[in-house]
Structure 1
Amino acid sequence: MTTPRRAARELALLSAAQVLSQPHTLSEQDCRSLMLAAIRTLALEVRESLELASSDLNESHGLLLKSELAAPEYKKAQSYLQKAIETTESTINRLGTALELPEILYFAHQDEVQMYALALLNCLNTHQATLDQTLGESLVDWQVDRLANIDRTILQLAIAEMMYLDVARKVAINEAVELAKRYSDEGGHRFINGVLRRFSDRQIQESNTSKAT
């Protein structure tokens, strides 16, 4: 069930890329502009996914035509076809999310939703460098700039909640995992859960060390 704060997190996630590209307008943002940015983000993702699936299908079709002459081409065609199927499944999930936008719209006009979404976006804008540094310290054999944009933003939002908005660690992590299940790739929620658990464990350790001294 969608709650006001969950709607705010989703609104912040989907609008972040477009809103933060013009950070000077953050103080002027209202519910309508946040929703417009969210809708544009979803539409862009769906369009890009469909284009990618179409490209893979065309490549697969071309290789299948050659496969009668060369067995390796058949294997390549299978690979492209599998990629096209996976991309199409991802696109269908994105479309399913878009169909649920009316539920977000229902909550979005509430002051609590708008204020918390803007608080999250302001955290991302104001503390971008610190969030990325902190995130990098919680990654294992990976770099921040190699993360998928959606995963990076989900992680930044959760860390911002724990560091700056006094949200309980368990709540922030669970909410991030739920966002990842809706918007990240398959298995993305497990990766995000692992990163945030490491961040949380380090926070607890640092807090205990500080109290001991």
Structure 2
Amino acid sequence: MSIRQQPRRIARELTLLSLSQLKNNPDKLDQEDINSLLLAATRTLTTEVHEILETASAEVNRGHERLLSSETRSPSLDSAKTMIREALELAQTAINRLASAVDFPEMMQLASQYEVRQYAIELIGTVQRRGAEIDQTLERAMVDWQLKRLPRIDRDILRMALAEMMFLEIPQKVAINEAVELAKRYSDDEGYRFINGVLRRVSNQLAESPGR
């Protein structure tokens, strides 16, 4: 994260990392201390890193056991290689999350800025208050997929983007581009491409809707 980033970009990242941890009434979000947002963000990253590393460890163990029992059977060897490759990919994801955590001292400094704090609170409140409308719009735009089946981080990126597109008067192109950048940082290649596709379908649907 660059210290020269726009306040709203910092606020989006803070919002993304905080959403799953905040349970407050959206009408009381203006009272939310910025330290609570940072604590929520830290807990999100910590929890996710632990879960990813546990899954990676389990895959390595499964792959190792498969190798030991496979002898020379080609299907078993291929299966073991796949498990280990997936474990390495998960470990790389965890490393990326840890790299994000390294940026936290800078985020803490920037989050104290009035513009950052206010936009994060506005964005979180909009996602929470208009959640039903946002999710309905997303469901209509998803092809052969369900919102609840997506990873939590991908769902929150999509919800934030729709909050901006539908209710916060952010240009749709800007909202989509910012969502894709967040997905590149916190999701994976498949995730950010999926998010980009869904948001572009939403944009087309909104353009065809009366009154928009």
Taking the TM superposition and a 5 Å limit, the aligned residue runs for 1:42-191 are: 42-68=45-71, 70-191=73-194
In 2: Cα distance, 1:72 partner to 1:126 partner: 51
Whether the aligned pair in 2 keeps the contact of 1:135 and 1:144 (CA below 8 Å) is yes
Aligned residue pairs total: 208
In 1: Cα distance, 2:124 partner to 2:110 partner: 18
Whether the aligned pair in 2 keeps the contact of 1:30 and 1:114 (CA below 8 Å) is no
Any runs of at least 4 consecutive aligned residues in structure 1 with deviations exceeding 6 A, and if so which?
none
TM norm structure 2: 0.92
Instruction: Report the alpha carbon displacement of residue 27 of structure 1 after superposing the two structures with TM.
Output: 4.0
- Give ranges in structure 1 of 5+ residues lacking alignment: none
In 2: Cα distance, 1:66 partner to 1:146 partner: 34
Instruction: Report the alpha carbon displacement of residue 157 of structure 1 after superposing the two structures with TM.
Output: 0.4
Identity of aligned residues (%): 49
In 2: Cα distance, 1:179 partner to 1:192 partner: 10
| Deviation readout 1:109-147 (Å, 9 max, x if unpaired) | 011111111111111111111110011111111111111
In 2: Cα distance, 1:183 partner to 1:117 partner: 18
In 2: Cα distance, 1:40 partner to 1:7 partner: 18
Instruction: Report the alpha carbon displacement of residue 22 of structure 1 after superposing the two structures with TM.
Output: 3.8
Classify the secondary structure of the residue corresponding to 2:189: coil
In 1: Cα distance, 2:172 partner to 2:209 partner: 14
Instruction: Report the alpha carbon displacement of residue 46 of structure 1 after superposing the two structures with TM.
Output: 0.7
| Deviation readout 1:94-119 (Å, 9 max, x if unpaired) | 11111122232221001111111111
CA RMSD of aligned residues (A): 1.7
1:6 aligns with 2:9: yes
In 2: Cα distance, 1:181 partner to 1:170 partner: 17
Aligned equivalent of 2:204, options 189, 201, 205: 201
Aligned equivalent of 2:25, options 23, 28, 46: 23
Given residue 25 of structure 2, which amino acid in structure 1 is its aligned partner? P
Instruction: Report the alpha carbon displacement of residue 181 of structure 1 after superposing the two structures with TM.
Output: 0.4
Given residue 87 of structure 1, which amino acid in structure 2 is its aligned partner? L
Classify the secondary structure of the residue corresponding to 2:21: helix
Instruction: Report the alpha carbon displacement of residue 206 of structure 1 after superposing the two structures with TM.
Output: 1.9
- Structure 2 residue aligned with 1:36: 39
| Deviation readout 1:78-103 (Å, 9 max, x if unpaired) | 12111111111111111111112223
